[in-house]
Amino acid sequence: MKHNILLCAACSNELKYVTNSYAYRLITGVGIFQTVYNLTLALAQKKYDLVITAGIAGDYNRDRDLNQMFMIGKSTFADTGFEDEEGGFVPLIGSTFLDCNKPPFRERYIYNNVSDEIADKIKLPTATANTVSRTCTDPIHVASLLQQFPADLETMESAAYSYVCALQNVQYAEIRCTSNHILPKKQEKWQIDGALRTLGTHVDRILEEIC
């Protein structure tokens, strides 16, 4: 069966090693607000059977090698919220302003609704992603974030993609390749080109199997 697929990335360079031309492509822009607007607009203009997001990510696990591929199983907006009177952080999700189980959230996370058939063709280990509005080099901040929202990876768009696709009732899958460790955050140690090449290889394989 031929699937009508929209392939998304935040930046064009995240797809520069993808050679497969079966899918429509959308570059949403970096961050939550660009992603929400541009993906919503694209889904309003055309119906897709499947949306796939491909990109790089930071890894919270400093003991794991980089350039590892994952499929995102669930994600959340980890740093959206309020400071309390003591300087602590109160997440928006789960506060009096947003119930932690209000769809598409389930216990503060959005679970990607990819079918077993598609997941079997993606064939990647599953990870949890924290979506943040800013990257941070402070170990105390990162530890506090992970205490409230345990996760494997950090991105700036995952939950935004998931949020839009869930509300639009579009099947959605996300794959990420790790390019850096969250701490220590020294960009000269990032393995961006290697991650992009690995990502491109897997995107081509997945599209070939699905299409």
Q: For 120-139, what is each residue's pLDDT tens digit? A: 999 999 999 999 998 877 78
Sequence ranges of the domains in the chain: 5-210
Termini Cα distance of the chain: 7
Radius of gyration of the chain (CA): 17
Beta bridge pairs of residue 105: 110
Average pLDDT of the residues in 169-196: 87
pLDDT at 172: 96
pLDDT category of residue 11 using cuts at 50, 70 and 90: very high
pLDDT category of residue 33 using cuts at 50, 70 and 90: very high
- In this model, does residue 1 exceed pLDDT 50? no
- In this model, does residue 95 exceed pLDDT 90? no
Q: What is the pTM of this model?
A: 0.91
Q: For 50-93, how does the pLDDT look when each residue is reduced to its tens digit (9 = 90+)? A: 999 999 999 999 899 999 999 999 999 998 888 777 767 788 88
**Which whole-number Å values give the CA distances from 15 to 27, 85, 93, 163, 198, in the listed order?**
9, 44, 32, 22, 11
pLDDT category of residue 189 using cuts at 50, 70 and 90: confident
Task: Report percent pLDDT > 90 for the chain.
Answer: 71
Beta bridge pairs of residue 151: none
| Domain at 5-210: CATH architecture | 3-Layer(aba) Sandwich (3.40)
What is the average pLDDT score of the chain?
91
- The pair of three-digit structure tokens given for residue 108, joined into one six-digit string: 């503060």
Instruction: Give the count of beta carbons closer than 10 Å to the beta carbon of residue 111.
Output: 15
